[in-house]
Amino acid sequence: MAAIKGQSDVLAALRGSGRDQAPFVMASGLTSMAKAVARVETGTIQRVFDRPTPFTMRAIGVTPATKQNLQAQVFVKDAQAKYLEAQVDGGRRHLKSFEERMTVTAGQLVVLPGDAAPRNAYGNISKAQLLKIIRESGPSSSGRRYFYGKPKGSNLPGGIYARAEQNRRIMPLLVFTQRAVYEKRFKFAEVAETVVRSEWTQHLAAAFERAMLSRR
């Protein structure tokens, strides 16, 4: 068998002796290509984000091609897309579920971690800590350790603060802002296009070789 060096060689071979293997070859090549794109996308997530969580690292999904449907898909899973969308497209992010629940306290505002927020190994506030802070906070007049609002006599923004050092100091735990606007950091489409352009031929050729070996 002559060496298969590129897409034109594969297509020529499929028009000849490998015609009956064409659907398998294309489905196998497309699926292999999609998995390669997914690996690079996952690596990009690890590179562009600061300490992404294991959940975020599992954001990329693949739908394999079949002989009946010669189309493979690489996508961001729905759960992760809820918070990665602004990073992919850029622009304003949507309110998170806990922010929507806080509308009575904060109004339609985005909540960001303050400098004194307790963070986990991934640089985030855990859900348990977040709910604890929200649950245990009250207006500044309540005398609680955690209070919400704009501290009087300061230029600090509205948020949830913790009283410390016997009320001699306050520390910002959560900060309220009108919106959070993100620049486009995770260039999902551009990454996929680059990988496909550089690797498609080799995946198609490898799929053809696997098909020919399976016939023997």
Tens of pLDDT along 37-95? 999 999 999 999 989 999 999 999 999 999 888 899 999 999 998 888 877 877 666 66
pLDDT number for residue 1: 33
pLDDT number for residue 5: 44
pLDDT number for residue 3: 38
pLDDT number for residue 213: 78
Q: What HEC string does the chain produce?
A: CCCCCCHHHHHHHHHCCCHHHHHHHHHHHHHHHHHHHHHHHHHHHHHHCCCCCHHHHCCEEEECCCCCCCCCEEEECHHHHHHHHHHHHCEECCCCHHHHHCHHHHCCCEEEECCCCCCCCCCCCCHHHHHHHHHCEEEHHHCCCEEEECCCCCCCCCEEEEEECCCCEEEEEEEEECCCEECCCCCHHHHHHHHHHHHHHHHHHHHHHHHHHHHC
Per-residue pLDDT of the chain (216 residues; tens, 9 = 90+): 333 344 566 666 666 655 677 888 888 999 999 999 999 999 999 999 989 999 999 999 999 999 888 899 999 999 998 888 877 877 666 666 666 555 544 455 777 788 888 888 888 888 888 888 888 888 877 778 888 888 877 788 888 899 888 778 889 998 887 766 667 788 999 999 999 989 998 898 888 888 877 765
pLDDT number for residue 168: 82
pLDDT number for residue 216: 52
